[in-house]
Amino acid sequence: MSAPELSIVIPVYNEELNLPLLFSRLYPVLDGLGRGYEVLFTNDGSVDASINLLKAQYDLRPDVTRIIDFNANYGQHMAIMAAFERVRGQIIVTLDADLQNPPEEIPKLLLLIDAGHDYVGGYRLNRQDSFFRTYASRVINGVRRATTAIEMTDQGCMLRAYRRPIIDAIVRSGANNTFIPALAYSFSARPTEVGVRHEERNAGVSNYSLYKLIRLNFDLITGFSLVPLQLFTMIAMACAGCSFLLVIILALRRLIIGPEEGGTFTLFGILFFLISVTMVGIGLIGEYVGRTYQVVRTRQRYFVREVVERAE
């Protein structure tokens, strides 16, 4: 078997209800491309029958199917990372397993890769998600635009295509908590975007709780920018300046008008405000220290229980 041209990367977490339809829609599209391809599924510690379905699909199409089986749940981005470390193709496409990104849109991305782009990001046309998710995305997109140099219409869309050098750079970076599309963007030379259809989740529920979403967006902001930290320093400096002014005014007042008696509560107010600013700062610093710690300890990011594939 010669190396395929195209590698499709799909993270799978409890998708037993979606996999049969995914297989029946994805493989015909890929067969129709006329390019050598492989599909890498990472089973991210599913607790349902996903792994059995994946293995059945491997038995059907062992020539183009590969499975990486995690021992536990490490999250979507680590699942993609594990596949990136093993891809054999020169063009890599990432896709969700829940059919929210229609496999029929893959050729669109490939056209732009063929046109010479090394990064093609999808953005969702007529997004089919809850009002809350759509609105939260808009807010976080704005924050990202203001704090990082990453240009992205729709950071939540996982239907994206990359050329191999970008994937190699991601693998070499050994990033821990990361947002793969953003990391890839920072390595790209000729990025572009294209609108892709978006469908409602075929079956099952989103694997992202509010908590996971907040964590993911924290990864995005703190992983790519120091602006939160710098902003805090600015605020702290402004606070220090104001406090200093206040002390001067109070001192002058004491000398000119005399002692102030009723000012105790003003003092408390100011004190509480300053303490709260300090607490936010400590939290932020903790965020970066934690991140440094994770990189420094060089612990294995995930554990692969089994890889089901044919030898190269």
Q: At 94, is the secondary structure helix, strand, or coil?
A: strand
Q: Does 98 bind Mg ion (CB under 5 A)?
A: yes
* Minimum gap (Å) between residue 129 Cβ and ligand UDP: 7
The residue assigned the tokens 């821990």 is: 176
Q: Other C-beta atoms within 10 Å of 276: how many? A: 10
* Minimum gap (Å) between residue 127 Cβ and Mg ion: 11
- Rounded Cα gap, residues 203 and 18, in angstroms: 6
Here's the x/- map for ligand UDP, 140-169, by CB under 6 A: it reads as ------------------------------
DSSP, residue by residue, 178-239: --HHHHHHHH-SSEEEEEE-----SSS--S--HHHHHHHHHHHHHHH--HHHHHHHHHHHHH
Q: Does 13 bind ligand UDP (CB under 6 A)?
A: yes
Q: Which residues pair with 196 in a beta bridge?
A: 124
Q: For strands 37-43 and 160-163, give the pairing.
A: unpaired
**How far out from the chain centre does Cα 22 lie?**
22
Q: At 104, is the secondary structure helix, strand, or coil?
A: helix
Q: Which residues pair with 105 in a beta bridge?
A: none
- Of 7, 57, 94, 100, the one binding ligand UDP (CB under 6 A) is 100
Q: Does 207 bind ligand UDP (CB under 6 A)?
A: yes
Count residues binding ligand UDP (CB under 6 A).
16
DSSP 8-state code for residue 2? P
With CB under 6 A as the contact rule, which of the stretches 82-90, 169-177, 202-210, 229-237 interacts with ligand UDP? 202-210
* Minimum gap (Å) between residue 45 Cβ and ligand UDP: 8
- Of 16, 38, 44, 105, the one binding ligand UDP (CB under 6 A) is 44
Q: Does 67 bind ligand UDP (CB under 6 A)?
A: no
Q: Does 96 bind ligand UDP (CB under 6 A)?
A: yes
Among residues 29 and 229, whose Cβ is nearest to ligand UDP? 29
Q: Other C-beta atoms within 10 Å of 233: how many? A: 12
- Of 12, 167, 170, 184, the one binding ligand UDP (CB under 6 A) is 12
Among residues 117 and 124, whose Cβ is nearest to Mg ion? 124
- Binding residues for Mg ion, per CB under 5 A? 98, 100
- Binding residues for ligand UDP, per CB under 6 A? 11-13, 15, 44, 73, 75-76, 79, 96-98, 100, 206-208
